[in-house]
C-alpha cells in the first residue's frame, strides 16, 4: 500500500522540503533518461559499466557516471565487486513505471499554470498547451499514444483487483467506453472467455489501438467502434468506464450516462472504475489524483455520496461496490 502521508511529512523543515524536492524533480529526470536511452533495460539484461551505458545512451561517460551514482545512492541499482552496475528489483519497477514517468512531463508543464488558469476559468493544461487536453491529443497522435500507454499501465495496476475482488455476473457483450488502447477490454475477454467485446473511443483513438487489437489472439472477439460517448454508444450487457467519469464535470457525466442508458440491453449493468474520495480528507492517491484532474481537465474525483447523487440524477442506482484501498474502486450500477 502506498503511504501518501509522506508528502506532508516532508514539510517538517525547510531542509527536508528542499531535499525531497530535489530528489523528486531531478530523480524523475534521471529515470526518464535511463528508461528512454535503454539503460534500464540493459541493466536488467546483465551488469554493465558506466562507459558501456554511456555509449548506449550516446552521452558523455562522466555525466552517465554521475546519474548512476544518484540511482546507486537511492538503491535503485546496485554495484558489483568489479565496479559494474547491476539491476535490482527496484530497477525492474523503474522500467515498469516508464509510462507513468513519461506522462508526468505534461503535469509538470501544466501544473505551474494552476493559479492563472483558475483565475481565467480554464484548465492549466489548456493554459499551457493552448487547447483542452483531448483536443491536444487529437492534434498530436504521438502524445495521444503516450497517454494511451499510461492508461494501459493504470489498467495493469487494477485488473487483478477487478477480476479477483469484483466478479461480474454473466454477460454476452462487454463495451469498454473510452477504452483507449483496449488493455482493459482484452484483459476482460481473457478473464471471461465466452464473452465478446466492443472497444469504444474517439475515432482517432481507436485507430491508434487497432494494430494491437488486430494482432491479439482475441481479435475475432473484439469489435472496434469509433464515436463520441456524448452522442451514442453501442448496445451491450456490461459497460466498463475506467477513469472516464473523473475527466468530466457532473453535467458532462450525466450526458455520458444518458447515452449508455439509451443504448443498454435489457438487464445491462454499468461498472464505474474510479477513485472514491473518503468523506473525511485523508492522505491518499485519490486526493492527489483529484488535483491532477484540476490540472488536466474539467473533472474531479468524487465521494461516494456525490457518486450516488450523480447516478440517481442519471436514472441509475448503485447495486454493488467493491472498495479498493490502493487505487480504483469498482461501483456497479443498475437502472434505478
pLDDT tens sequence across 180-232: 999 999 999 999 999 999 999 999 999 999 999 999 999 999 999 999 999 99
Number of domains in the chain: 2
Is pLDDT of 16 > 90?
no
- Indicate if 233 and 315 belong to the same structural domain: yes
- Indicate if 81 and 148 belong to the same structural domain: no
d(CA 144, CA 9): 35
Q: What is the pLDDT of residue 239?
A: 98
Residue 271: what are its φ and ψ, rounded to 5°? -105, 115
Query: 63 vs 54, 55, 60, 68, 292, CA distance in Å?
Result: 8, 12, 6, 9, 33
- Indicate if 148 and 203 belong to the same structural domain: yes
- Indicate if 145 and 216 belong to the same structural domain: yes
pLDDT tens sequence across 262-312: 999 999 999 999 999 999 988 888 899 999 999 999 999 999 999 999 999
Report if residue 58 sits inside a domain: yes
- Indicate if 91 and 159 belong to the same structural domain: no
d(CA 227, CA 285): 31
- Indicate if 284 and 176 belong to the same structural domain: yes
d(CA 111, CA 113): 5
DSSP letter (8 states) at residue 302: E
Query: 215 vs 62, 171, 248, 296, CA distance in Å?
Result: 43, 25, 32, 32
d(CA 259, CA 314): 10
Confidence of residue 330 (pLDDT cuts 50, 70, 90): very high
User: Helix-strand-coil percent breakdown of the chain, rounded to 5?
Assistant: 55, 15, 30
Q: Which three cell numbers stand for residue 161?
A: 483487483
Report if residue 107 sits inside a domain: no
- Indicate if 81 and 24 belong to the same structural domain: yes
- Indicate if 139 and 279 belong to the same structural domain: yes
Q: What is the pLDDT of residue 139?
A: 94
Q: What is the pLDDT of residue 158?
A: 87
d(CA 315, CA 324): 25
Q: What is the pLDDT of residue 11?
A: 87
What is the CATH classification number for the domain harbouring 49? 1.10.10.10
Q: Kindly provide the b/e burial profile for residues 84-99, where b requires at least 16 CB atoms within 10 angstroms of the residue's own CB.
A: bbebbeebeebbeebb
Report if residue 144 sits inside a domain: yes
- Of 43, 77, 96, the last residue of a domain is 96
**Strand ranges across the sheet with 329-335:** 222-226, 196-201, 173-177, 238-242, 269-274, 329-335, 316-322
Q: What is the pLDDT of residue 281?
A: 87
What is the CATH classification number for the domain harbouring 223? 3.40.50.150
Report if residue 248 sits inside a domain: yes
- Indicate if 92 and 165 belong to the same structural domain: no
Q: Percent of the chain beyond pLDDT 70? A: 98
Please tell me whether residue 319 adopts helix, strand or coil conformation: strand
- Of 69, 96, 123, the last residue of a domain is 96
DSSP letter (8 states) at residue 170: -
Is pLDDT of 326 > 80?
no
Report if residue 102 sits inside a domain: no
Report if residue 110 sits inside a domain: no
Report if residue 126 sits inside a domain: no
- Indicate if 322 and 230 belong to the same structural domain: yes
With a CB cutoff of 8 Å and minimum separation 6, the contacts of 88 are 75, 76, 77, 78
- Indicate if 224 and 310 belong to the same structural domain: yes
Task: For the chain, give the mean pLDDT.
Answer: 93
d(CA 308, CA 301): 13
**Which of 47, 305, 49 has its CA nearest to residue 57?**
49
Q: Which three cell numbers stand for residue 150?
A: 499510461
Is pLDDT of 5 > 70?
no
Q: What is the pLDDT of residue 6?
A: 67
pLDDT tens sequence across 55-79: 999 999 999 999 999 999 999 999 9
Domain carrying residue 287? 132-335
Stated pTM of the model: 0.87
Report if residue 239 sits inside a domain: yes
- Indicate if 168 and 276 belong to the same structural domain: yes
Helices (H), 46-140: 50-57, 61-73, 89-96, 98-110, 114-120, 124-129, 133-139
Q: What is the pLDDT of residue 136?
A: 95
Amino acid at each position: 500500500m502506498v503511504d501518501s502521508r509522506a508528502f506532508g511529512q516532508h514539510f517538517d523543515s525547510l531542509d527536508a522540503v528542499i531535499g525531497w524536492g530535489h530528489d523528486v524533480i531531478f530523480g524523475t529526470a534521471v529515470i526518464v533518461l535511463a528508461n528512454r536511452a535503454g539503460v534500464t533495460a540493459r541493466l536488467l539484461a546483465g551488469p554493465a559499466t558506466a562507459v558501456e551505458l554511456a555509449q548506449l545512451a550516446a552521452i558523455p561517460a562522466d555525466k552517465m557516471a554521475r546519474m548512476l551514482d544518484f540511482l546507486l545512492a537511492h538503491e535503485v541499482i546496485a554495484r558489483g565487486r568489479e565496479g559494474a552496475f547491476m539491476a535490482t528489483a527496484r530497477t525492474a519497477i523503474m522500467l515498469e513505471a516508464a509510462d507513468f514517468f513519461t506522462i508526468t512531463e505534461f503535469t509538470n508543464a501544466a501544473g505551474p499554470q494552476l493559479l492563472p488558469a483558475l483565475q481565467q476559468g480554464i484548465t492549466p493544461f489548456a493554459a499551457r498547451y493552448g487547447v483542452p487536453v483531448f483536443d491536444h491529443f487529437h492534434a498530436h497522435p504521438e502524445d495521444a499514444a503516450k497517454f494511451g500507454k499510461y492508461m494501459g499501465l493504470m489498467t495493469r495496476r487494477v485488473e487483478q483487483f477487478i477480476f479477483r475482488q469484483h466478479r461480474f455476473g454473466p454477460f454476452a457483450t462487454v463495451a469498454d467506453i473510452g477504452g483507449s488502447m483496449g488493455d482493459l477490454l482484452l484483459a476482460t475477454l481473457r478473464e471471461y472467455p465466452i464473452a465478446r467485446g466492443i472497444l469504444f473511443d474517439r475515432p482517432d483513438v481507436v485507430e491508434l489501438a487497432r494494430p494491437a487489437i488486430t494482432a491479439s489472439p482475441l481479435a475475432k472477439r473484439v469489435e472496434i467502434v469509433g464515436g463520441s460517448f456524448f452522442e451514442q454508444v453501442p448496445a451491450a450487457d456490461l459497460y466498463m468506464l475506467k477513469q472516464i467519469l473523473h475527466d468530466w464535470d457532473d453535467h458532462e457525466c450525466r450526458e455520458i450516462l444518458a447515452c449508455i442508458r439509451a443504448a443498454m440491453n435489457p438487464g445491462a449493468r454499468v461498472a464505474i472504475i474510479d477513485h472514491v474520495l473518503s468523506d473525511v480528507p485523508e492522505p491518499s492517491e485519490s486526493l492527489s489524483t483529484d488535483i491532477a484532474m484540476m490540472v488536466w481537465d474539467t473533472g474531479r474525483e468524487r465521494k461516494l455520496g456525490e457518486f450516488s447523487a450523480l447516478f440517481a440524477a442519471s436514472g441509475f442506482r448503485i447495486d454493488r461496490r467493491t472498495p479498493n484501498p490502493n487505487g480504483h474502486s469498482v461501483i456497479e450500477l443498475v437502472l434505478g
